[in-house]
Chains A and B, each alone.
With several copies, the nearest count.
Chain A
């Protein structure tokens, strides 16, 4: 006899993902799907795709889905959740999408305590458009619009989104995780699961910030990119729980 102990989750379609080799998006997609599988919510989930590399989300998940305008997934998710308060609504956003153009929408969805779960992929760069500087690009990090490396005097300072949103009263749960190692992936999944469960329990707005990689635009191999996450990104973006209403945080 044999038991399958790891396989592709049921909530993902068979479509080949277009992501670059070793891109963190794929890992996060999978763990979202695993959580929804485990919660038995495949037919009760609606996912909001961002504008960014993850724009193809509708092809990859078996949930109802919508292409949101750049940065506006939290607003669109709000519209959906208000109509379908019993559905699990997930918004998935990159750092350009969420922390740059979409800053107002995420702050306000969080302040409203909108009962959605935002998965925020912090890969420090604009992937889809070819490697421009993101609000999360580290100081000194090269991007096509900061080719000499991000100079905070010239290009401004990175934004730590979890910290910023944690000043608000609306969020029920905010955690920053990473997907650079198997151990971190396990933690990341736990965080996403918790966020989704808080949503189901109507506790308020939930967000998991995932520190991830973009090997292509970082100009690194997939493996080196994950090392960069561990060595450079995480020190700047400390992992941990930033808000948890159940823990009085």
Chain B
């Protein structure tokens, strides 16, 4: 049996964590994988944290939900850091938005990547790109989907009329990948 990626993306509302998950999902389908996306929903979302669970797998998705056993965690803020770090499977990856999260992961059975996405986005001159930059890092490391598939997915998720944003998003993905490469273990 092939590989099953169990990805959690978490952060504040507004950081684009939900669409990060959707982009992975769509890209997974484009790459011919079995996929699912599940948002956490609830009133605690009111200005609070948001997160979603994504599966990208070679085999049909049974349970679309996983409490633990996360293979890839993206934590964009401190509450998410506290919530998700313990749920990552041994050998999994954790991507930390180190622009905001100052703490360090206190586990040695996981691979941790600190990506200062807010700073990187500012470098690109567009604070909204933090999630795309993070995605670039994630797929560079964990090889969940193809980078080009993310860009195709972008048009699916945000509509074809957003085509003009493709170049800047491509740049953001590359930026994330680039930083990730320097951190690769």
Contact = CB atoms under 8 A, between A and B. Distances in A.
Query: When A and B assemble into the complex, do they touch directly, with CB atoms less than 8 Å apart?
Result: yes
Interface of A: 18-21, 53, 55-56, 128, 216
Contact of A53 (B43, B44, B48): B43
A21 B47 contact: yes
Contacts of A55: 43
A128 B47 CA distance: 12
16 contacts: A18-B43, A18-B44, A18-B46, A18-B48, A19-B46, A19-B47, A20-B46, A20-B47, A21-B47, A53-B43, A53-B46, A55-B43, A56-B43, A128-B43, A216-B46, A216-B47
A56 B44 CA distance: 11
Contacts of B47: 19-21, 216
A20 B47 CA distance: 5
Closest 9 CB pairs of A and B: A20-B47, A20-B46, A18-B46, A21-B47, A18-B43, A128-B43, A19-B46, A18-B44, A216-B46
Interface of B: 43-44, 46-48
A56 B47 CA distance: 15
A20 B48 CA distance: 8
A100 to B, nearest CB: 19
A222 B55 CA distance: 37
Nearest to B47: A20
A74 to B, nearest CB: 23
A202 to B, nearest CB: 36
Contacts of A56: 43
Contacts of A53: 43, 46
Contacts of B44: 18
Nearest to A19: B46
A53 B47 CA distance: 13
Contacts of B46: 18-20, 53, 216
A128 B44 CA distance: 10
A9 B62 CA distance: 52
A53 B44 CA distance: 11
A53 B43 CA distance: 8
Nearest to A128: B43
A21 B13 CA distance: 12
Nearest to A56: B43
Nearest to A21: B47
Contacts of A128: 43
B40 to A, nearest CB: 14
Contacts of B48: 18
Contacts of B43: 18, 53, 55-56, 128
A60 to B, nearest CB: 14
A156 B44 CA distance: 32
A56 B46 CA distance: 13
Nearest to B44: A18
A36 B47 CA distance: 29
Contacts of A19: 46-47
Nearest to B46: A20
A179 to B, nearest CB: 18
Nearest to A55: B43
A55 B42 CA distance: 13
A56 B42 CA distance: 13
A216 B13 CA distance: 11
A206 to B, nearest CB: 29
Contacts of A216: 46-47
A184 B47 CA distance: 26
Given A21-B47, A56-B43, A128-B43, 13 more contacts: A18-B43, A18-B44, A18-B46, A18-B48, A19-B46, A19-B47, A20-B46, A20-B47, A53-B43, A53-B46, A55-B43, A216-B46, A216-B47
Contacts of A20: 46-47
Nearest to B41: A130
A21 B48 CA distance: 10
A21 B47 CA distance: 7
A70 B114 CA distance: 46
